[in-house]
Structure formats: structure tokens, C-alpha cells
Amino acid sequence: MMNLHNLPPSAILIFGALLLPLMPKQLRNLWCVVLPAAAFVWVWQVPLGHEFAISFLDFQLELVRVDRLSKAFGYIFTLNATIGLIYAFYVKRWAHHAAALIYIGSSLGVVFAGDLITLYFYWEAMAVFSTFLILFRGLEGSKKAYGAALRYVLVHVAGGLLLVMGLCICYQKNGGDLTFSAELFKDPHLGSWLVLVGFLVNAAAWPLSAWLPDAYPEATVTGGVILSAYTSKTAVYTLLRGFPGYEILIPLGCIMAMYGIIYALLENDMRRILAYSIVNQVGFMVVAAGIGSEWAINGAVAHAFCHIIYKALLWMSAGAVLYMTGKSRCTDLGGLYRYMPWTMVFGTIGALAISAVPGTSGFTSKSLTIHAAEQAHLFWPWLVLEVASAGVFLHAGIKFPYFVFFAKVKDWTLEKADIGEPPWCMRIGMALMAFLCIFLGVYPEPMYAILPYQDVFQTDPYQVFTAGHLVSQFQLLMFSGLVFFLMLPMLRRTNTIAIDTDWLYRRIVPMFYRFTDWSLNGINRWTAALVVDRLIPRLNHFFARGPYRVWVRVNMPFARLNRSMGEVEEFSARRFFYRQAMLGILPIGVTAFLAVVGLLILFFA
């Protein structure tokens, strides 16, 4: 019997997705939930240390490599996919599901890839198939989504190019071995920097971050839920695997954490607020990768695990609101608590979890990263992470639910008569995620048990639930909440957007385009006028008529010798020779003589 563990989990999802159009319509959506669930079982069953490679050309492609790190990400990716596709059960179009499944399958491929060539193939597949999740909204009629999808795929193709350039250099330096491990990038050289930048593009590291808040909020309702989990978290995985202890990641992550907060505070679109808070949260994980200690890696994995759950929950509740109201701007929303109470409860649980309120999964996961910064005696990163923790409560913990569900009393039935809770599948998806947020918040042991480094839990008995930690966390959060309501007038929403680094390629590059259009096409027109319209005809004239003139010049002295000529005779003689040359009726002797002269020139030259 074939060993099922050699079947990569990516293959389950990708080939399963390709079967979708062949299935009866009633079974398709069920099949979409079964596939990631099957992949989850695969991750659960596969033994640690399992490897499976195939030969392709001259390369050994390691399709499956299982260790604790890849397994932890495998668990959360498949779990989130299962619940995400339950949420998406109402979507009738199979192509939406197929794109999502192939995208998720590719991200699993990245996580379980043992070498960088395999990883690269999956990496590009992720970029391509995730684009469809945005593009489908464009097909539903959103012109903005169409533009955002184009920018999204261009940024990722550029990132992929950097990655492949770096891989080529690493391949040369390393004597043809591209096994993906921290060893490969131990000595920083151009190749490892290029690979790092390629990974950081997907991690939405500032200033390469603008694609995320540009594209995700334009995705379909379910596309946003799926997108929020995979691209940035596979990038976090690659950083943890390949670049732990790269110190540049610490300040970079700190910038991301603060940048996410500031922009989320400026934003008006609820899904864009959530997109910026992804950058903020991934900042924590990037800092942890930069610290690189065993606690930090554990913290980053735990944080990624919980983040995927509560961020999916937040995107689900925002998606439900968008689906029911068709609106996504805070200025258009508010007062929905009366019409969508369950969505409000679930969304608020997600908001509390992302804010790391004790009793939710954010508290049990984010604390590990902050603890790692303390252990490493990194004062500034620690301070920034604490400040960012307070800021998360501000922008995602309170601002999102406040402006969407509360803020004002509004009679929504005037705008939409059938306003109410979203379809049952959405409510089930949100309920499952909300359950996980609280379950992991009060009983984090199952999650801690799958973290990569288990020894540190023995050597450094760190307790999350100490009285001191609870007190400090509640102080931090409650006073953040106090500031929010004290400064509420300053936070009033306006119908504006905030320009981000994508301004460079949305404004400066078009300017550059127009400049090159003006300058290069200007040169073109000028050259055309000068060379094509004037110089070429003249040259043409010169070369066409030149030989005739030579003929006239050669013959005229002989004609003058024969008889003396007046002006009129001279002119008619010239005409005669000119016409003779033009019509090609030359006396043979002359032609032969000229040919001999020509050959002699060629011979001596």
C-alpha cells in the first residue's frame, strides 16, 4: 500500500480543488470542507522527521519534511481552512473555492517543503491563486478590486524575482545544496539578503507593506477571511526557519507594529483597519524571529497560531457586515448591535482576543514574545511591544467593534429592509473561531504542546496566569480604553483614505511613466522629423542621383573636347548624359572599363 504520508498535504487540497468542477453541484461545498479537514488529519497523523523527496531534472525536490515547526503551522493552516470554508459555504461559485483551496494548498506546500526550489514553486503558486480571491470581486463589478489585484500580483511577482535571484546566488555559494534551514543563511551575503527581502515582501514588512492594506480589503467577503491567514504567516514561517537571530528583523518588526497602529487609527474602512492590524501583529512575530531565542520562536509560533484564529474571526465578522449591509466604511456603519447581535458578540470576542485580554488566546500567545524580549534584555523592543499591545486594544480591540456595531443609534431597516444576521454557515464559522479564541485563552496547554521547543517550558517555568501579569495587563488595557473614550472626538471618522508607501508606485511611477513618455517619445518625434522626414529623403536623393552626376562629370570633358559648346549646347549635353545614365544605356566599353577599375580597387585595397 502506498504510504499516505508521502502524499503532500498540498496535493490533497490542490488535486481535490481540480476535481471540483467534475462534482455534482450539491456536493461541491461539502467537498471543500472535507479537503482541509483531511489535510488536518494528515498533519495530525504524520510522524515527526518524515521526509519524502522526488527527483526532478538534476534536483532532489523534498516535497515533505516534517518537524515540529512545520507541523505547528500545518495544524493551524488546515484548521483555519476548514472553518474558513464552512464560513464560505454559502458561496455558489466553485471557482472561488478552487482558488482558495489551491492557495491554501500552496501555503501548506511552502510549510512542508524541505528545499528552497520546492518552496519557490509553491511560493509563486500562492501569489497567483491568491490574486483570484481579489480579482473575483472585480468580476462582481468592483473596479477598485481589479486595480488592487493587478498591483497585488505585480508586487508579489517582484518579490518572487528577488527570491529567485537570491536562490541562484545561494545555490552557487552553497555548492548546489538548497536545503531550507538557518544554516543556509548563516553567513550573510548578497544571496541571503535577497532571499530575506523576498520573504519580507510577503511578510508585509515596512516599507514593502502597502500591498496588504491595498489588496485585502478589496477581496471578496470570503476571500478576505482566507487571505488574512496565509501569505503573511507563511512568510513568518520562512523567517523563523531561515533567519532566526537576524538582528535587523527586531527594529523592522518594531516599525511594523507601530506603523500598523498609526495607520489603523487613520483608516475609515473597517476591513482596511483589520488589514493594518495584520501588519501590526506580524510585526510582533518578526521581532520574535529577530530575537531568535527558543522562547522567541515558541512565542512567534504561538502568536501566529492564535493570530490566525482571531484575525480570521475579525475578518469573518467584518465580512458578515459587508455581506449584509454592502458597506465597509465606518462612516456608513454603526448601530448594528440591534440587527446583528451574534455577529457583534463574535466580532467583539475576536477584538478582545487580538487585544490580548486575559482569558482570550491573544493573552496566552503574545505574552510569550514579550517574555522573550525580557529574557533577552532588549529594552527598546520590549517597550515598543508593550506600547503596541496597548495600541492594538485601541485600534482593533475597541475602534473596530465600536464604529461598526455601536457608535450611534441607526434605523437600518430604512436602508435595507431584510437587515439581520448573516447566513447560518457564517454564524457557525464565527462561533467555532470564537470558541477557539476563548478555549486557547483559558486552556492554552494543547497549543503549547505543539510549539517547536518544549525544553524551555521545563528550564524556565514561565507562567502566563500570574496575579502580577493579570494586574499589569488589565491596567494596560483599561487605561488604553479610557484614552479611547476620552479622545473620541479626535477619532471621529472621516471619508478619507491615508496615503501609504504604495503612493510611490501609484503616484510617482505614473509620473515617471508620463515623464518617460514625454522625454523619450519627444526624442522619438524629434528624430522622426529630422531623420525620417528630412535626412533620409536627402540621402536617398544623393545616392540615387549621385552616380548619374558622376557619369555626367566624367563625360562632359570629352564632350567639350569634341566641340566647343555654348550654354545651350552644354545644358543639352548634360541632359543627354544624365538621361543616358538614368536609363542605364551606357556604352559597353565604358561599363567594362569602370568594372575593371572597380575590381582593381578591390584587388589592391
Residues 439 to 468 in contact with another protein, rule: CB under 8 A: 462-463, 466-468
**Who's near 223: CB < 8 A, 6+ residues apart?**
96, 100, 133, 134, 136, 137
Among 443, 465, 474, 571, binds another protein (CB under 8 A): 474
Interface map 252-291 toward another protein (x if CB under 8 A): ------x--xxx-xx-------------------------
Q: Which stretch binds another protein (CB under 8 A): 50-58, 184-192, 380-388, 542-550?
A: 380-388
DSSP helix/strand/coil, 51: strand
**Who's near 300: CB < 8 A, 6+ residues apart?**
236, 240, 284, 285, 288, 289, 369
Among 4, 18, 157, 478, binds another protein (CB under 8 A): 478
The C-alpha atoms of residue 260 and residue 467 are separated, in whole angstroms, by: 30
Whole-number minimum distance, CB 305 to another protein, in Å?
22
Whole-number minimum distance, CB 299 to another protein, in Å?
13
Nearer to another protein (CB atom), residue 411 or residue 533: 411
Among 335, 448, 548, 549, binds another protein (CB under 8 A): 335
Picking from 491, 142, 86, the residue whose alpha carbon sits closest to that of residue 313 is: 86
Q: Which stretch binds another protein (CB under 8 A): 273-281, 373-381, 416-424, 541-549?
A: 373-381
The size of the chain, in residues, is 605
Q: Is 359 in the site for another protein (CB under 8 A)?
A: no
Whole-number minimum distance, CB 399 to another protein, in Å?
10
Integer angstrom CA distances of residue 503 from 70, 208, 214, 468, 511: 36, 12, 11, 45, 11
Residues numbered 512 to 531 that lie near another protein (CB under 8 A) are none
Please, how many CA atoms are within 13 Å of residue 443, restricted to the half-sphere of its CB? Answer: 4
Contacts 24+ apart (CB under 8 A), 479-482: 479/390, 480/390, 480/391, 480/393, 480/394, 480/397, 480/398, 481/393, 481/397, 481/398
Interface map 81-120 toward another protein (x if CB under 8 A): ----------------------------------------
DSSP helix/strand/coil, 59: strand
Q: Is 483 in the site for another protein (CB under 8 A)?
A: yes
- Dump the DSSP string for 142-178: -HHHHHHHHHHHHHHHHHHHHHHHHHHHHHHHTTT--
Q: Is 189 in the site for another protein (CB under 8 A)?
A: no
Whole-number minimum distance, CB 276 to another protein, in Å?
11
Type of residue numbered 588: I
Among 89, 243, 246, 382, binds another protein (CB under 8 A): 382
Please, how many CA atoms are within 13 Å of residue 603, restricted to the half-sphere of its CB? Answer: 6
Answer for the pair 311, 299: CB distance below 8 angstroms, yes or no: no
Q: Which stretch binds another protein (CB under 8 A): 63-71, 312-320, 472-480, 597-605?
A: 472-480
Q: Which stretch binds another protein (CB under 8 A): 32-40, 71-79, 368-376, 558-566?
A: 368-376
Whole-number minimum distance, CB 257 to another protein, in Å?
11
> Which residues partner with 329 through β-bridges?
269
Whole-number minimum distance, CB 205 to another protein, in Å?
19
Among 139, 165, 248, 387, binds another protein (CB under 8 A): 387
Whole-number minimum distance, CB 292 to another protein, in Å?
17
Among 331, 338, 428, 453, binds another protein (CB under 8 A): 331
Among 377, 459, 589, 601, binds another protein (CB under 8 A): 377
Among 168, 383, 508, 539, binds another protein (CB under 8 A): 383
Beta strand segments in 386-425, E: none
Q: Which stretch binds another protein (CB under 8 A): 43-51, 296-304, 308-316, 483-491?
A: 483-491
Among 413, 454, 494, 524, binds another protein (CB under 8 A): 494
Q: Is 379 in the site for another protein (CB under 8 A)?
A: yes
CB atoms within 10 A of CB 502: 20
**Who's near 135: CB < 8 A, 6+ residues apart?**
145, 146, 149
Q: Is 589 in the site for another protein (CB under 8 A)?
A: no
**Who's near 550: CB < 8 A, 6+ residues apart?**
none
Contacts with another protein by CB under 8 A: the residue count is 71
Answer for the pair 227, 99: CB distance below 8 angstroms, yes or no: no
Nearer to another protein (CB atom), residue 41 or residue 265: 265
Q: Is 3 in the site for another protein (CB under 8 A)?
A: no
Type of residue numbered 494: T
Nearer to another protein (CB atom), residue 197 or residue 376: 376
Residues numbered 42 to 61 that lie near another protein (CB under 8 A) are none
Whole-number minimum distance, CB 317 to another protein, in Å?
20
Q: Is 489 in the site for another protein (CB under 8 A)?
A: no
> Which residues partner with 36 through β-bridges?
none
Please, how many CA atoms are within 13 Å of residue 460, restricted to the half-sphere of its CB? Answer: 14
Among 1, 48, 409, 414, binds another protein (CB under 8 A): 409
Q: Is 184 left (phi over 0), alpha (psi -120 to 50) or beta?
A: alpha
Among 146, 171, 435, 548, binds another protein (CB under 8 A): 146
- Dump the DSSP string for 93-122: -HHHHHHHHHHHHHHHHHHH-SBHHHHHHH
Among 53, 121, 147, 173, binds another protein (CB under 8 A): 147
